[in-house]
Structure 1
Amino acid sequence: MNLPNVTVRQLEYLIAVAETGSVTGAAARCHVTQGAISLALSELERALDLRLVVRSPRRGATVTAAGARVLADARRVVGAMGDLGVEARGLSQKIGGVLTVGCYTPIAPFHLPAAIATFERAHPEVSVRFVEGSLPEIGEDVVSGRCEIAFLYDQDLVPGITTRTLYDQPPKVLLPADHRLRRRRAVALRELAGDPFVLLDVPPSERYFRSVFAAAGAEMVVTHRARSFELARSLVARGIGYSITVQQPALGRSYEGLEVVAVPLRDEVPTTPVVLGWANGPLTRRAQAFADHCAALFAQ
């Protein structure tokens, strides 16, 4: 079997070009000359017999479709080599390197700060970076290798992702402090018919909330759409409408300091578990350690 003559350094340079969008940016990140980056890319393309990057003066460097597929493998190889380097230095009981974690934007404040701070304290040899976005965006980041592991809802995930459930909890209704139903122990969605509804609109949240309304036998009529969790809560706090939330902050107040009341739903509705997701296949040692750490951290 003839294996391509590819080096880890070439793969590192390809990753740097993809993430910075230019040969100049990659050279600055890797502390080498632009000529060294260009030569390594040319040698890599020749070894694989593929066009990986298109370069232009105006658009910088753009990864081709074939390059994107190679890029995903390159990230896995470079990550595995980082683990191997730790082993080779006689630190077999420790982990190291850079771990990039993805997160669905609405749940990021509930997970990323605690996970990063406590994990880096437990594993100081690991430096954690993060990216956030919609579920489809983060799913693609996981599959492409841009991040090794991610916090997601177990909903409409792209193919090729393995998951591990962290916890599951039912949604609640968010009401302003002076709402007629604020003192109820539980509320049925039908009781809110006619009230303006504030939708947290970060894909694919609308699909999930529609399934909640359908299960409750109520119609979801959206009056306002908010792209952030805190804007939705602030609109509710001002009496502009009610909303539904899965995550519940420790403090029941908006940014303005106005009270927001979370009331359980009486209806039997679907839940959406919070999971860790990673591309099908084995995890790096640092990603496995992160998964185990988060499972303990967020256990109910």
Structure 2
Amino acid sequence: MLQVANMSDFLAMEFPPRELILYPWLPTSGLCMVHAFRGIGKTYLALAIAYAVATGGIYLKWQAPKRRGVLYIDGEMPATVLQERLLGIMAMNGDAIIPDNIKIITPDLQSGCMPDLATEAGQALVDEYITDDIDLIIIDNLSCLARSIRENESDDWNRIQSWVLSLRARRKSVLLIHHSGKGGTQRGASKKEDVLDTVIMLERPKDYDSSEGARFIVKFEKARGFFGEDAQPFEARLIDENGIQSWLAQSLDDTTYLKVVSLLNKGMSQAEIAIELNIHKSGISRHAARGKDEGLIGRPKIEGCAVAVPMKTQQCN
């Protein structure tokens, strides 16, 4: 039976407050999506988010206020690779004790196929493991785990949408991992985004080199309930110093600044740098002035993030 309330009764009702699972963009009862092209780092990001939420930790610029239960549904990773990445994340955080509140469903554990989450039968199989102690469900990724839908058909998406909305009604949060389409937006029907609180796109920096490993720009395409500095894009980089890995999160303006300083010290003109970096000359002038004020212009060698510069940078072990 459909429940209806008049406005006065509705405003008098008390609902549980909407907290944040991961500040600032992943709320309780939240529906969110991360999308990127293949090989950029979606699974790295998703696993690190799962670990941060489970341990009440920090990842990039985001913080989990407390420990919460996570169900990670992986659709394509070999179990050995998944183990390596999880162990790597533990090492980054300096943890020796394995968190007991992350549950994992992955193909190599199954005797048959993974459930198709676009079907009621597949959803029912997973629902059995979405217990009271699970706060966040991560689905990595839609193409593998909802394989019977036609991504460009909005009506097909309804089968997934109804399920994730039912999870939200149970105060569960869902993070969907998806592929980007040809235009850079999430692949398939745009209707997916209608019910989502947050949509994050990962993309390669223009000067990315394959030898660098995991390095990407994080952009918020939809930001419900947060704004300003919290919603600004930034660059994330996985760095390795003497065998110890950590993530570096840096504002786009600061990464551009370091590039300008480096190129100026290599003897390039401001006009040449503007063409090289595809930014306006006024921006080059601003960065050049800052570099002179901070005593970095004219130094013999400047190498990317190795420069000790006062800026908004966060390094997450």
TM norm. shorter chain > 0.5 = no
Instruction: Give the TM interval when normalised to the shorter protein.
Output: under 0.3
Give TM-score, length-normalised by structure 1.
0.24
Give TM-score, length-normalised by structure 2.
0.23
